[in-house]
Amino acid sequence: MAAQQFASDNYAGICPEAWDAMAAANSASAPAYGDDEWTQRAADAFRRLFDTRCEIFFAFNGTAANSLALAALCQSYHSVICSASSHVETDECGAPEFFSNGSKLLVAQTADGKLTPEAIRALATSRSDIHFPKPRVVTITQPTETGQVYTIGEIRAISATCRELGLKLHMDGARFAHACATLQCAPADLSWRAGVDVLCFGGTKNGMAAGEAIVFFDTALATDFDYRCKQAGQLASKMRFLAAPWIGLFESGAWLRNAEHANGCATRLAAAIEGLPGVSLAFPVQANAVFLQAPESLLEALSTRGWRFYTFIGGCARFMFAWDARVDTVDLLAQHIAELAARSEKRGNRPLPAFAEARAESGVPG
């Protein structure tokens, strides 16, 4: 059994920079419910990183952040356009609908989980009568659940379509740092300068113990959001422990380093398995995820060797890397896949059907 597993980037622990910031915030007592210097400093660190005056709120997890952000943008009779494979649709147990008192999610079937202006327009204009929930918001996941990154140009094109159709643009950035690392661009360029109104920035998958930040670039949309958080059980009384890790991540640069390391491990595994007989990548590797398409017998053998992975998307094996991924363990995984692929080829096993033909199984979050 390998010492480290890559089934989810949430398997990782807390990175030293986040841990040290927690310890620093633990050195004395401080005012509760966000009236403390750590929360103030963390919010300021966001404003510096994004180079703009935005409103920041801290929630315990991504489901709450996404759901409350969408609820803030919608009335109950509104609808939210999202991809069929989006986390809000498949992995949040109906929380967006629950917290918005019934706003409906309108799903677009797209090849790679990315929304396009065309798909948005088709859904937003399909009906305009009183019987259909009025489209109000578009939500995109950056990077997508299968690890594809929207370019700045793609986000700009989407936001232009949103503005034209009177829609707000929300970004689920559970791995926003990983997208910044891939594109090597400023966070501002990938968010408000590209037309994003609200961003949920993931801290957990970036090395924190827990915590996501809801960043309102359109500050008018943040009105009363503090009440919404409190009502939903998302106002931490000892807020400084949700806030301080962000200071550690941003001031040390670990937020980007962690993501670069995670992405690098995915690229490394992808490069090592490319060209092996009978296996392939189900999706282009653009962030910290690798989806391995392989014969069922190979995946079973990999599992027997002790490797853990999810197969909820099209039956392929998902590997996700975090800040703590050990390169030698990534190489060991690659070596095992190579050995099993060679053995499988000798036995004349045929690979599974391509992703498009495979049936997506029920989802597992994270």
The CA distances from residue 82 to 121, 128, 313, 314, 365, in Å, are 12, 18, 17, 20, 17
Which residue's CB is nearer to ligand PLP, number 117 or number 173?
173
111 touches 117 (CB < 8 A): no
Determine the interface stretch with ligand PLP among 24-32, 56-64, 117-125, 321-329 (rule: CB under 6 A). 56-64
**Which of 34, 62, 133, 314 is close enough to bind ligand PLP by CB under 6 A?**
62
What's the min distance (Å) between Cβ of 314 and ligand PLP?
17
Element (H, E) at 97: helix 95-99
Phi, psi of 302 (to 5 degrees): -65, -40
Angle of helix 37-50 relative to helix 240-252, nearest 10 degrees, comes to 40
- Strands ordered across the beta sheet of 317-320: 280-281, 289-293, 317-320
Which residue's CB is nearer to ligand PLP, number 200 or number 340?
200
Buried b or exposed e, range 197-218, using 16+ CB within 10 angstroms: bbbbbbbbbbbbeebbbbbbbe
What's the min distance (Å) between Cβ of 66 and ligand PLP?
6
**Which of 141, 159, 288, 293 is close enough to bind ligand PLP by CB under 6 A?**
141
What's the min distance (Å) between Cβ of 141 and ligand PLP?
5
Asked if 366 touches ligand PLP (CB under 6 A), the answer is yes
Which residue's CB is nearer to ligand PLP, number 286 or number 344?
286
Count the residues of the shown chain that bind ligand PLP, applying the rule CB under 6 A: 13
What's the min distance (Å) between Cβ of 30 and ligand PLP?
25
Which residue's CB is nearer to ligand PLP, number 145 or number 324?
145
CA distance linking residue 224 with residue 116, whole number of Å: 31
- Mask of contacts with ligand PLP, 292-331, x by CB under 6 A? ----------------------------------------
Asked if 63 touches ligand PLP (CB under 6 A), the answer is yes
CA distance linking residue 17 with residue 251, whole number of Å: 9
**Which of 5, 52, 61, 151 is close enough to bind ligand PLP by CB under 6 A?**
61
Rounded to 10 degrees, the C-alpha dihedral 282/287/289/295 comes to: 20
**Which of 89, 145, 197, 324 is close enough to bind ligand PLP by CB under 6 A?**
145
Residues 165-204 that bind ligand PLP (CB under 6 A): 172, 174, 204
328 token code pair: 């030698």
Place of tokens 């931490």: 236
Which residue's CB is nearer to ligand PLP, number 60 or number 225?
60
124 touches 167 (CB < 8 A): yes
Angle of helix 327-346 relative to helix 296-304, nearest 10 degrees, comes to 130
289 token code pair: 């995820």
Which residue is closest to ligand PLP by CB?
62
What's the min distance (Å) between Cβ of 11 and ligand PLP?
12
Residues 72-131 that bind ligand PLP (CB under 6 A): 87
Determine the interface stretch with ligand PLP among 62-70, 97-105, 329-337, 339-347 (rule: CB under 6 A). 62-70
Which residue's CB is nearer to ligand PLP, number 214 or number 352?
214
The CA distances from residue 81 to 102, 161, 202, in Å, are 14, 12, 21
Asked if 209 touches ligand PLP (CB under 6 A), the answer is no
Among 66, 46, 68, CA closest to 56: 46
In the complex, the residues that contact ligand PLP under the rule CB under 6 A are 61-63, 66, 87, 141, 145, 172, 174, 204-205, 365-366
